[in-house]
Structure 1
Amino acid sequence: MEPRSRPPSLVVDPSLPAAVSSVLRSSPEILRSVRLGDIPSAPGPDPVKVFSAAALLGLAWALTSLTGMLLLLAVAGVLTGMRRLTADPAARQARRRMRVALDHSHRFVLPEDLDADCGALLRRAQDAAETVLGSQVNRAGLLDAIDNAVTLPDQVWQTATKLARLSAMRAEHRRIVPAAPPPEVAEAFAPYSGALERAADSLAGRVRALEEYAAQVSRADAVYRSYRQLELLAERTPQYEDLLAETAGDELAVPRLEEMTGQARRIRELFLESMAEARRAAGHLTGTGTA
């Protein structure tokens, strides 16, 4: 499947604690239930059990005394606690995940929250962020213009939340505005449609800036690999010098060695230039770049 045709993945607010984020990411079906409002209500007390307990307490009061009734209450409390401790752990875990999802329902964006156009934009943003974070130059700590591990997830999150809002407003707009309003009133709807279009264009520009950064990083990555390969060869320069000295005269060996040195220098300059381009793209992405 082509990257652009893949649906976007779940986005969770990166500022959440790791424990909460882990629960949300591991429970996509529960998140969908929360988003759709399909939340099972907590079971109420069983009337038969309530009546039986009241009758039992009344009988204990009649047959014994207040002390006997209190003792019976204590036994019932212990039995209830033991029942909860031995309850199905899977059910307890599901209830816990549901509670976490309910408490943080505004801290995640599902693919279903987006229309087709917004989903495609989010997928592009996620692909670009993954390209940068997976690059060799990033793992080597060479992209020091921004902290990618912090900035890029936040960029994707901010983009996802804005795309979700745009999707919701576009859906509402389609419900309110007739598909073909009368010509004499069509102009009245234009500012609202225009606002949605401008918002979409702005978000598309934000994604393009992220993609440009990823493209610059990919180019820097390719040059970095060549640079590292030349570093390995440079360590073996004496062996090449000996080989040329043994197999060719100085009039051939010296120019060849100078050519090797010059090529290594050009690759290094190209690498440094590509890194500078990537840093400039990062600055534009975060609004700190120079014109």
Structure 2
Amino acid sequence: MADVVVDPEIPPDDAALLRDGRDVLLRMRQGWAPEERRGRNVAGTAVVAGIMASFGLLVGVGPFGRGAGLLMLALIGFPVLVLLFVRDDPHDDDPGERETYELLRWYEGRYVLADDLDESSRRLLGRARNAIAAVTRSQVNAEGLLDDVRNAVMLPAQEWEIARLLAKLSALRAQHRETVTGGMTPEVAAVAAPLGRALDTSEEAVLARVEALERYAANVAEADRAYRAHHQIEELRGRIHQYEELVAESGADAFAVPELSRLAEDADRLEQALRRSIGSARDAFRHLDPPPGPDPRSRPNPSTNPRPNR
């Protein structure tokens, strides 16, 4: 999985660039920025052209004649102009990096870099993402036996909400630790203690979200096993007549007929188990609380940070 978790409401093309933008983001945080786009140096071009024209006219009235002046102007002026335009090429930077840079600035607050999380938060995010991946890669999900439409919407929203909360938790926890390190007076300890408990309570709430995802993934895994077993049994049932024919021809009816009857009964029980397991998975899915809507304060302000042109 990518190291950047993106708000699922971001357009897919932009989201893909953001997920691949970890290296650019790390360089940005070290102070890197693409060079400003430079237009053609019109003033410089005009000055050089004027000098060359004057030089050509001066030579043209001399003993070499006008033809020599024009030839000299072409030989000297043209290469100078070419070098001037090449020097001011506006595509000095990688266009892909520039576009990623602009998107990272525009969508600031709507993506989370896993590197920014502390160790505990990274573990929780990893568990959540593993559970989501297990569900989305499952066979019962691919076959549409689960609520695949809601999965496609709810699971990315859950991943983003968990990542967003963990990013806030990690930042506040680091600030809290820095403030209380080095000893505290009783007055400071009285204030810091409940704030520390608030951080712990917030982490427990996020943990509950992650565990709900893991329960859902476990139910989906059980449904996957039942689904595979169901298909295997169905394949065997489809060949029962061949077994019965062989048993009859070999005279082994007394031994094999009861076994074949049990096979049909096992298939019926397995089909019921499959239905129950899929029902359990759907019930587990319903216990996933939908995350609240996006915080409008996290949205960029178009008046201060214009949307990059694509």
Q: Which amino acid aligns with 1:23?
A: L
* Equivalence for 1:15: 9
Q: Which amino acid aligns with 2:20?
A: S
* Equivalence for 2:217: 214
* Equivalence for 2:33: 40
Cα displacement string for residues 59-103 of structure 1 (whole angstroms, at most 9, x for unaligned residues): 79x9xxxxxxxxxxxxxxxx99x8699754862332222111211
State the shift of 1:282 in Å: 0.6
* Equivalence for 2:247: 244
Structure 1 spans left out of the alignment, 5+ residues: 1-6, 63-78
Give TM-score, length-normalised by structure 1.
Answer: 0.78
Match of 1:225 among 223, 228, 231: 228
1:190 aligns with 2:193: yes
Give TM-score, length-normalised by structure 2.
Answer: 0.74
Contact 1:245 1:253 (C-alpha < 8 Å) held by counterparts: no
State how 1:74-223 maps to structure 2 within 5 Å.
Answer: 88=91, 91-144=94-147, 147-183=150-186, 185-223=188-226
Contact 1:9 1:123 (C-alpha < 8 Å) held by counterparts: no
Contact 1:111 1:119 (C-alpha < 8 Å) held by counterparts: yes
Alpha-carbon distance between aligned partners in 2 of 1:134 and 1:98, rounded to the nearest angstrom? 32
Alpha-carbon distance between aligned partners in 1 of 2:37 and 2:242, rounded to the nearest angstrom? 83
Distance 1:53 1:18, change over 3 A: same
State the shift of 1:284 in Å: 0.8
Alpha-carbon distance between aligned partners in 2 of 1:185 and 1:97, rounded to the nearest angstrom? 44
State the shift of 1:197 in Å: 0.6
Q: Which amino acid aligns with 2:131?
A: A
Alpha-carbon distance between aligned partners in 2 of 1:225 and 1:84, rounded to the nearest angstrom? 65
Distance 1:53 1:217, change over 3 A: same
Distance 1:249 1:53, change over 3 A: closer
Alpha-carbon distance between aligned partners in 1 of 2:135 and 2:254, rounded to the nearest angstrom? 47
Alpha-carbon distance between aligned partners in 1 of 2:13 and 2:2, rounded to the nearest angstrom? 23
Cα displacement string for residues 17-36 of structure 1 (whole angstroms, at most 9, x for unaligned residues): 121112212222112233x2
Alpha-carbon distance between aligned partners in 2 of 1:185 and 1:28, rounded to the nearest angstrom? 38
Q: CA RMSD in A?
A: 3.5
Alpha-carbon distance between aligned partners in 2 of 1:233 and 1:135, rounded to the nearest angstrom? 23
Shifted more, 206-215 versus 149-158: the winner is 149-158
Alpha-carbon distance between aligned partners in 2 of 1:85 and 1:258, rounded to the nearest angstrom? 84
Alpha-carbon distance between aligned partners in 2 of 1:50 and 1:85, rounded to the nearest angstrom? 10
Contact 2:138 2:221 (C-alpha < 8 Å) held by counterparts: yes
* Equivalence for 1:24: 18
State the shift of 1:119 in Å: 0.5
Cα displacement string for residues 10-64 of structure 1 (whole angstroms, at most 9, x for unaligned residues): 2122221121112212222112233x26232644879xx687457569879x9xx
Percentage of matched positions with identical amino acids: 37
Alpha-carbon distance between aligned partners in 1 of 2:150 and 2:218, rounded to the nearest angstrom? 17
* Equivalence for 2:74: none
Contact 2:3 2:115 (C-alpha < 8 Å) held by counterparts: no
Name whichever structure is richer in helix by fraction: 1
Distance 1:135 1:145, change over 3 A: closer
Contact 1:135 1:217 (C-alpha < 8 Å) held by counterparts: yes
State the shift of 1:169 in Å: 0.6
- 3-state DSSP of counterpart to 1:38: coil
Q: Which amino acid aligns with 1:196?
A: L
Contact 1:118 1:167 (C-alpha < 8 Å) held by counterparts: yes
Shifted more, 176-185 versus 162-171: the winner is 176-185
Cα displacement string for residues 101-125 of structure 1 (whole angstroms, at most 9, x for unaligned residues): 2111222111221000000000000
Alpha-carbon distance between aligned partners in 2 of 1:88 and 1:197, rounded to the nearest angstrom? 50
- 3-state DSSP of counterpart to 1:16: coil
Contact 2:34 2:93 (C-alpha < 8 Å) held by counterparts: no
Q: How many residues align?
A: 266
